A and B are shown apart, each in its own frame.
Chain A
């Protein structure tokens, strides 16, 4: 079983600051492996533990993304392919195309796992686009993947329902964070990760006449701010409880 895991070198949203106009300050912002990609890596490693084979990390990202790739390698993946490109991050079509080409070069794979979306922009576009490029069956939002021979049973966690699909390998799936709890690499694994093979590719090496032109352009990005009402009720407990109840009803938080 050869499994590819697509990872993104994402902006660390927990450290992100915005300027007074609400524009995120991306210059010098901390970065990390996109949170849910660790779930995809974990799932691939569990599949490998059961069926044997190899786990390959594939990343389209800038030179600094090596840090992210090494983090995924430290979890236990065998090797990595790094498409060094500064253009990635917000152009899902271009990213998915480069991932496809990189996978074609280092494949074939029995399964390609991605996260449901990245932890910085959470657009969730790359996995289905990638499946489309690869012309492979796709299951999004997987909360369980069971492999038996060449058939994968995938439970999808959808908005207010769940659905189980049966796919034949090879396939592409995106996983939700509930699918597993990613392991923490040990310090020895972190140090050994830098010795694992990492192939470097450039977009020029991969792009062909079928390379897509971008269909979208990011015009502006703003941090969403939540204005809290900070209402304080004063008085005796019975009185304030009633006032709180009325206020919650008036806001439609609880039924009237």
Chain B
């Protein structure tokens, strides 16, 4: 911390260590119960939000703390380790807040940002559709202008926080092209489907969001009509780093569990941590977790500096999410039969597995990274 932020290391350190303690005491002990569906994340998420995690990187004038985005990312890395589902749900809420902060009107910022960052309201980002994920331009949701309103029709799929959110950030095609709208919970014509069963991230809610002649006031258009694609690209750039950060946390906790187990489990009369092949795994797991941590931190520091960071964000997400699946897989391997049969071990692999798909598949991100590199080459 001292080398990264020489002037404000103590302050940032105190914020992060207080949050870390909070997560350790209030969230981590309940994490397995969220995966087992025996408990809802709603209460812990609400208390965490009230504690201020989403205030970190937002400007003070809208209720934030005005700290760097990289500090928020470090907080999310800790949250990913404490509970990936809460991390996902909270992070999506922040993506919506970021979208409003970057592209919203002053009225939208004043109206929504303080509520979103203080935890009074939860956000949901509605982009993917049943027939279009990575191909956002193929979106079939339409927004028709009618007097002082827009009328939305269509359906969004695999939407995190659907049914729980107070505000939906919706991507739809209007007359002038792709546009974004803010739809409040309770809007006429807005409905959500059943919670979709998932292999991991079971604490977070994922469902379809439907719009049938859903009327939203014209002032709920974000920015300008027709520029929605640019907005979501910018939002996803930040969000991708955060998804990578969640995976760094997931890998970290899986690694810690496997490390501890390797010291206790004996084979041929000695702890398995004494065997070279296990030691190789331990070394590789730790190295990979730290590499992912650094890539996410680097991309977020570029964002803080106002530099171009879209390729670095994609690189961080590709690496950290795939790394996490690999590290969690190694953890299962170290635990052997117990790893395959114990929810509390294999849930980390199941959690990490979502994020090589969500918020940009690894394949799409590789396309983006390569395109950028090729465009820069002579």
Q: Using a CB–CB distance below 8 Å, which chain A residues touch chain B?
A: 67, 70-71, 74, 184-188, 190-191, 194
Which residue of the partner chain A has the closest CB to B54?
A187
Contacts of A74 in B (CB 8 A): 18
Contacts of B19 in A (CB 8 A): 187
0/1 per residue, B20-48, Cβ < 8 Å to A? 00100010000000000000000000000
Contacts of B10 in A (CB 8 A): 67
Which residue of the partner chain B has the closest CB to A191?
B65
- Inter-subunit contact B50/A190 (CB<8 Å): no
Which residue of the partner chain B has the closest CB to A184?
B22
Residues 1-30 of B contacting A (Cβ, < 8 Å): 10-11, 14-15, 18-19, 22, 26
Task: Check if B371 is an interface residue, CB within 8 A of chain A.
Answer: no
A191–B13 alpha-carbon span in the complex (Å): 11
In the complex with contacts A185-B18, A186-B51, A191-B11 CB distance below 8 A? yes
A88–B51 alpha-carbon span in the complex (Å): 33
- Inter-subunit contact B65/A67 (CB<8 Å): no
B323 to chain A, nearest CB (A): 26
Contact of B55 among A71, A184, A188 (CB under 8 A): A188
Q: Please report whether the interface of chain A is mostly helix, strand, loop or mixed according to DSSP.
A: helix
Task: Check if B100 is an interface residue, CB within 8 A of chain A.
Answer: no
Query: How many residues in B have their beta carbons less than 8 Å from beta carbons of A?
Result: 15
0/1 per residue, B333-361, Cβ < 8 Å to A? 00000000000000000000000000000
- Inter-subunit contact A71/B18 (CB<8 Å): yes
A230 to chain B, nearest CB (A): 11
Task: Check if B74 is an interface residue, CB within 8 A of chain A.
Answer: no
A236–B53 alpha-carbon span in the complex (Å): 52
- Considering the complex of A and B, which 4 residue pairs feature the smallest CB-CB distances, nearest first? A187-B52, A186-B52, A190-B18, A186-B51
Q: List 20 A-B contacts (CB under 8 A).
A: A67-B10, A71-B14, A71-B18, A74-B18, A184-B18, A184-B26, A184-B51, A186-B50, A186-B51, A186-B52, A187-B15, A187-B18, A187-B51, A187-B52, A187-B56, A190-B14, A190-B18, A191-B15, A191-B65, A194-B14
Contacts of A188 in B (CB 8 A): 52, 55, 65
Q: Which of A67, A74, A186, A194 has the most CB of B within 10 A?
A: A186
Contacts of B15 in A (CB 8 A): 187, 190-191
- Inter-subunit contact B11/A187 (CB<8 Å): no
Which residue of the partner chain A has the closest CB to B51?
A186
- Inter-subunit contact A187/B65 (CB<8 Å): yes
Add 7 more A-B contacts to A67-B10, A67-B14, A187-B53 (CB < 8 A).
A71-B14, A185-B18, A187-B18, A187-B51, A187-B56, A191-B65, A194-B11
Q: Which of B14, B19, B22, B55 has the most CB of A within 10 A?
A: B14
Which residue of the partner chain B has the closest CB to A74?
B18
- Inter-subunit contact A187/B55 (CB<8 Å): yes
Which residue of the partner chain A has the closest CB to B12?
A191
